[in-house]
A and B are shown apart, each in its own frame.
Chain A
Amino acid sequence: MAKLRIRVDQDKCQGHARCKSLAPELFELDEYGNAHEAGDGSVPEGLEDKAWLAQTNCPEIAIEVTEE
């Protein structure tokens, strides 16, 4: 499986926090509850499904998943 990288678009994120609930390993919330990709956004092996799950449940379509 290709290596995945995620990024949360800060202009789009409104803090629904669906990603944090679905993939807590991959996202961090700031003091306002807005989401950021954890670390540099690279998705550890085995968490690819969770990355896609977060992406497909974000109401604001704020999460980009790219294959490297």
Chain B
Amino acid sequence: MSDSASARFLPEHPPVKDWIHDFDHTDPVWTEDPFPIWEELRAASPVVHTNRFLGCYMPTTYQAVKEIAYDTEHFSSRRVIVRDVRPEITARAPPITSDPPEHKPAKQVLLPPFTPDAMKKLEPRVRAICNELIDEFIDDGGCDAAARYTKNVPVRAIAHMLGIPEQDGDLFIKWIHGILELGIKSEDALMNAVREMTGYFMVHLEERKKAPGDDLISKLMQAKLPNGAPLSDEHVLGSLRLLLIAGIDTTWSAIGSSLWHLARTPADRERLVAEPELMPSAIEEFLRAFSPVTMAREVMKETTVSGCPVKSGNMVLLSFPAANRDPAMFPDADKVVIDRKENRHAAFGLGIHRCVGSNLARMEMTVAIEEWLKRIPDFRLDPAGKVTWSEGTVRGPRQLPVLFGKKA
């Protein structure tokens, strides 16, 4: 989300000169092309540290990422974004910010609406959304695919699921930008976005108290914890914040990176058009190679990770994207192999915090790329335009100018 108007107000971080001892995942060099940096860090140590962000570690190998993801005793999820600030924890978003034992019941409430079978029922609507979007620009011979397509698929899909207006998408995007990007460096931007979002959902909660529907908000309000208690309004609001934040930028990025790759790689594009049965393995490979989501943990107790000591009080940048590029885990880790057979990628996390929306994300990605390739089998990056990438926690193209049809 390159919002230049608001980006002006960001306090600047000094440019990184020493990645190994002073890494910064918001540095423009990282944002543009993080892969060589991860390679350098991985060669240095399985765990590196920076004094930025009030102290933060980064595991650089698949193994070290996995150890931390599985260790909920030493690593808490109460903060899941590495920021300059550590504001007091007021707005929780269960289950992503929950640790055991609270985590499991909070997660189980959310799981049934997101099973693969539930996604099959949503799929026709998503296919229609994709075609409605393509109809708007297909005659133009080109478009910014990030603004016109990849963003709007998840915005409309999650709005449809929650039963909130699809036209409110611009608001959602503004809040997410405030929380995931501006909020890394500005507590005000973070708090304002959380406050506005909470107010928005409170109105929807009140409406459904009077007249429940069959949307996901109503279902959450009617859900019961294993002890039979209903969820508090605060819990429902927290989970709704989570679903909106986690359901949009992430899939926007995953679809965008996939199209970015296909725009630059005619061989893969032609192969996918000719052999559509490769789509499932291609989707998994795009998820591996361009994993959008980096999470965080907070070190609660001193321990070691892959032999490296980590001390409490520090954050951990839990980079599933870097894990997925580890050559010790994936042969040809830096190549995109759309028929890769063995692919235990961690794009949706590992352990108890596996992304609750992973089946939704896969379905949206698959449908969005299938429908695009059906209607626009031949396309390329617009050499006159510039591809830009989001900063920080979720990585994907925020401008993706492409040419197609007669201009391709």
Contacts and interface: CB of A to CB of B under 8 A. Distances in A.
Pairing of A with B: yes
The contact size tier of chain B is: 20 to 34
Given A17-B358, A17-B359, A21-B280, A33 B114 contact: yes
Interface stretch (A1-9, A37-45, A55-63): A55-63
Given A14-B354, A33-B115, A61 B344 contact: yes
B351 A29 contact: no
A17 B342 CA distance: 15
B342 A60 contact: no
B398 interface: no
Contacts of B114: 33
Contacts, number: 51
A20 B350 CA distance: 18
A31 to B, nearest CB: 5
B354 A15 contact: yes
Given A15-B111, A17-B358, A31-B112, A56 B342 contact: yes
A13 B108 CA distance: 14
A16 B115 contact: no
A57 B344 contact: yes
A49 B282 CA distance: 19
Contact of A20 (B108, B116, B341): B116
Interface in B316-374: 341-346, 348, 350-352, 354, 358-359
The contact size tier of chain A is: 10 to 19
A1 B18 CA distance: 55
Contacts of A16: 348, 354, 358
Contacts of B350: 14, 59-60
B286 to A, nearest CB: 15
A12 to B, nearest CB: 9
B206 interface: no
Contacts of A59: 344-346, 348, 350
Contacts of B116: 17, 20-21, 29, 33
Nearest to B345: A59
Given A14-B352, A32-B115, A59-B350, A53 B359 contact: no
B111 A33 contact: yes
A57 B342 CA distance: 6
Interface of B: 108, 111-112, 114-117, 280, 284, 341-346, 348, 350-352, 354, 358-359
6 closest A-B pairs by CB: A14-B354, A32-B111, A33-B115, A56-B342, A59-B344, A31-B112
